[in-house]
Amino acid sequence: MQIKIFFDYLKFEKRFSPHTIVAYQKDIAQFSDFLATQYDTNSLSKISHQHIRSWIIYLLDTGLTSASINRKIASLKALYQFYLKREHIKVNPMAKVIGPKKGKRLPVYVHKDELEALFNKIEFGEDYEGKRDRLILEILYQTGMRRAELLELKVEDISIKRNEIRVLGKRMKERIIPINTALVKQVKTFLADRNQYLNNIVDKDYLLLTSSGKKMYPKLVYRVVRKYLSIVSTVEQKGPHTLRHSFATHLSENGADLNAIKTLLGHSNLAATQIYTNNTIQRLKEVYTQSHPKAKSK
């Protein structure tokens, strides 16, 4: 069976990029080589799902990641769907093939002692930007809100009397997050200072503004968070979402109810929140390995 017609189809009809086509070519060539070596055949049209499953097992044994294997499976799926459509085959061998599950990556978070160092030992400066940047970090870590939610936070969303913040999350879903008295005072002081430092406040309804008095934008928040987390932590990811992960992980480590964490984060289902318990278990394993005299016994 001419494989060239498949790649012509990808190029001229599906209009796949040259990079994608090269990837498909490599994947299918690897599978063809496997068939030749293991089964003494190079006929892609005369194989069963068992041949493909054995290839997947072989790839797993080589240490290839689930993501890479699933990409190769996607290449074969496209090929056999094409052959089935053109009636080159009567049965699609991919119909009974299921790829390996991707392992969930644990959320990256900053340790409590590193955040304590950030808020207690780092100088932010007494100018407007210094006070604003500190408030950005305080709010993100103390509430676990998303960057987009922070950008939309308005002065009226913060209740000084009730010590809480109203957040408008995904799909316009509203939630209330409690905050401590110290953060309330910090917000009050910031607003007073903001009126003194900024001559022309354009977007006065929003809590956090640029130095020109305009509503903050996503990249600026990211730069602020990355700048300060880089001082105290060596984690690879140093964006606003890392503080959200830190908020949830530290709550879980301290025994907070999972449903309460779910509500605070604004998750729509509990499954999205459960991953933070895995972080806690992983941390416990690290502590055990480092501290228990029997942990390294053989």
What band does 285 get if pLDDT is binned at 50, 70 and 90?
low
Q: Active site residue: 241, 245, 250, 262, which one?
A: 241
**Quick one: CA dihedral 195, 210, 179, 167, positive or negative?**
positive
- Residue 244 pLDDT exceeds 80: yes
Contact 176, 164 (CB under 8 A): yes
Given the residues 51, 244, 250, 262, the one annotated as active site:
244
pLDDT in tens, 53-95: 999 999 988 888 888 999 999 999 999 999 999 988 999 999 9
> Is there a single domain that holds both residue 59 and residue 133?
no
Q: Same domain for 78 and 161?
A: no
145-204 per-position pLDDT tens digit:
999 999 999 999 999 999 999 999 887 889 999 999 999 999 999 999 999 999 889 999
Question: Bridge partners of 215?
Answer: 209
Q: What global pTM score does this model have?
A: 0.65
Dihedral angle sign, alpha carbons of residues 245, 250, 252, 257: negative
113-117 mean pLDDT: 97
- Domain count along the chain: 2
Active-site residue, from 134, 146, 238, 250: 146
Q: Is 49 a catalytic residue?
A: no
Tell me, yes or no, whether 197 and 251 share the same domain: yes
241 in active site = yes
39 counts as catalytic: no
Cα 259 from chain centre: 21
User: Do 235 and 287 have their domain in common?
Assistant: yes
CA dist 3 and 13 (Å) reads: 15
Residues 55 and 173 in one domain: no
Catalytic site residue from 170, 173, 227, 292: 170
Q: Residues 77, 214, 267, 283: which is the catalytic one? A: 267
Binned at pLDDT 50, 70 and 90, residue 216 comes out as very high
> Which CATH number is 200's domain given?
1.10.443.10
pLDDT at 115: 97
Residues 140 and 50 in one domain: no
Q: What is the CA radius of gyration of the chain?
A: 27
Both 40 and 143 in one domain: the answer is: no
Angle at 117 between CA 111 and CA 121, to 5 degrees: 170
Asked whether residue 40 falls in the same domain as residue 158, the answer is no
CATH number reported for the structural domain that contains residue 21 in this entry = 1.10.150.130
Confidence of residue 268 (pLDDT cuts 50, 70, 90): confident
Specify if 297 maps to a domain: no
Same domain, yes or no: 130 and 278: yes
Give the residue numbers spanning the domain of 53. 4-96
Does residue 282 surpass a pLDDT of 80?
no
User: 17 with 64, same domain?
Assistant: yes
* Residue 159 within a domain: yes
Confidence band for 292, pLDDT divided at 50, 70 and 90: low
Mean pLDDT (the chain) is 91
Same domain, 251 and 137: yes
Catalytic residue flag (residue 250): no
The answer as to whether 141 is a domain residue is yes
pLDDT at 283: 66
